[in-house]
Amino acid sequence: MPSARTDEDLAGALRARGLRVTPQRLVIHRVLRDRAGHATAEQVLREVAPALPNVSLPTVYATLALLERLGAVRRVSAPGDRAVYDTRTDPHHHIYCRECGAVADLEAPLDPGTALRAAERVGFRPDWAELTLTGTCARCAAAQPTRADTTAK
Amino acid sequence: MPSARTDEDLAGALRARGLRVTPQRLVIHRVLRDRAGHATAEQVLREVAPALPNVSLPTVYATLALLERLGAVRRVSAPGDRAVYDTRTDPHHHIYCRECGAVADLEAPLDPGTALRAAERVGFRPDWAELTLTGTCARCAAAQPTRADTTAK
DNA sequence: CTTTTTGCAAATGATTTGCATTAAC
DNA sequence: GTTAATGCAAATCATTTGCAAAAAG
């Protein structure tokens, strides 16, 4: 049920809930689905513009929120500021660079079983688990040598 | 090195970097250290007020950012909106409720070893790993029955 | 036709910034 | 005394909201 993979899937999910199938919804979903990485709302707007020059940012936000409710898109909130969205549904994790704020996917197995069970024991109903590694990305690490703790200024 | 546990530790860390030891910095750090859970900047302001009635929100933010740089405090960005801060240094995770936006700690073991190694293999230098479980908290689950996927509208 | 969506403009709310004043050292 | 920190007011910026016009069903 979650995550529509094709335009038809999405259209079906929308109709099933009495929601309307609009070009904005189809295109925004398509753009996110066909992207490599994550996208901010602003990026989505830019990438949707060629197909629909008049979409507005509020519509992008509203649509992303709707797609999230449908389970077709996931909102990943960067430890920093703006949120990013993606359509991946397979287990994967994120690395976040403190320096430049970049968020990237990380392929790695992880067994959150114990944590999930612990959460359920507290009455929490988890539907998603993701690991976030915080640190310094390769690019930023190269820029500032070894960040010796004593060299501060 | 990271995470000053006492006022003296913090004072020392500040002096070591040529930074000044101010009551604001000491009190804000103390308040966060002695708290149970997480606190937003606004909460910190409120709790610091009794001791220092004139502290301003900008100072709270600046100080929290400084303490984060010193490794004395960690900023946890809720998948939702406002960031929360805490002084915990032991491995723990977070559960985030989509409905009400609440963030809570979760005690559970987890071995991020493989993920850390995968990140390093890509040139990333991780300094922190945390698991975030997203779902519905007990309170909200009680409010809205079972959220059957077909009952929407 | 009726009701949902859209686009626009304006609002919101957290976090930041500019700057003169005050406090550390 | 000097220079960094503070407090205040104003600025930013992502995200939301109100509403009339446009589009879906």
pLDDT in tens, A105-142: 888 888 899 999 999 999 999 988 989 898 888 888 87
Torsion of CA A62, B38, B89, B105, to 10 degrees: -70
pLDDT of res. A93: 87
* A116 contacts in chain B (CB < 8 Å): 133
Q: Find and give the residue nearest to C25, measured CA to C1'.
A: B20
Q: What is the pTM of this model?
A: 0.82
| Angle of CA points A152, B44, B2, to nearest 5° | 30
Question: What is the nearest CA distance from B30 to chain A, expressed in angstroms?
Answer: 23
pLDDT digits (tens, 9 = 90+) for A52-111: 999 999 999 999 999 999 989 988 876 667 888 988 877 788 888 877 777 888 888 888
Query: Which residues of chain A from 41 to 60 reach within 8 Å of chain B, CB to CB?
Result: none
Q: Helices (H), strands (E): how many in chain B?
A: 6, 6
Return d(Cα B44, Cα B49) in angstroms, integer. Answer: 8
Tell me the torsion sign for CA atoms B58, B63, B68, B73.
Answer: negative
Query: Is B37 an interface residue toward A (CB < 8 Å)?
Result: no
| 8 Å CB contact of B132 and A132 | yes
Nucleotides of chain C touched by protein CB (<7 A): 4-10, 13-18, 23-25
Helix, strand, coil abundance in chain B, percent, nearest 5: 40, 20, 40
For residue B53 the two structure tokens come to 């009635």
pLDDT digits (tens, 9 = 90+) for B78-107: 666 788 898 887 778 888 887 777 788 888
Which residue in A94, A87, A129 sits closest to A111, CA to CA? A129
Return d(Cα B152, Cα A131) in angstroms, integer. Answer: 30
pLDDT of res. A61: 97
**Minimal-distance CA residue of chain A relative to B108:** A115
Question: Going by C-beta distance under 8 Å and a sequence separation of 6 or more, which residues neighbour residue A71?
Answer: A1, A2, A3
Least CB-CB distance to A95: which of B1, B76, B126?
A: B126
What count of other Cβ atoms lies within 10 Å of the Cβ of residue B6? 11
Please report, in tens digits, the pLDDT of each residue of chain B (153 residues total). 456 679 999 999 999 999 999 999 999 999 999 987 789 999 999 999 999 999 999 999 999 999 999 989 988 876 667 888 988 877 788 888 877 777 888 888 888 899 999 999 999 999 889 898 988 888 888 776 544 433 333
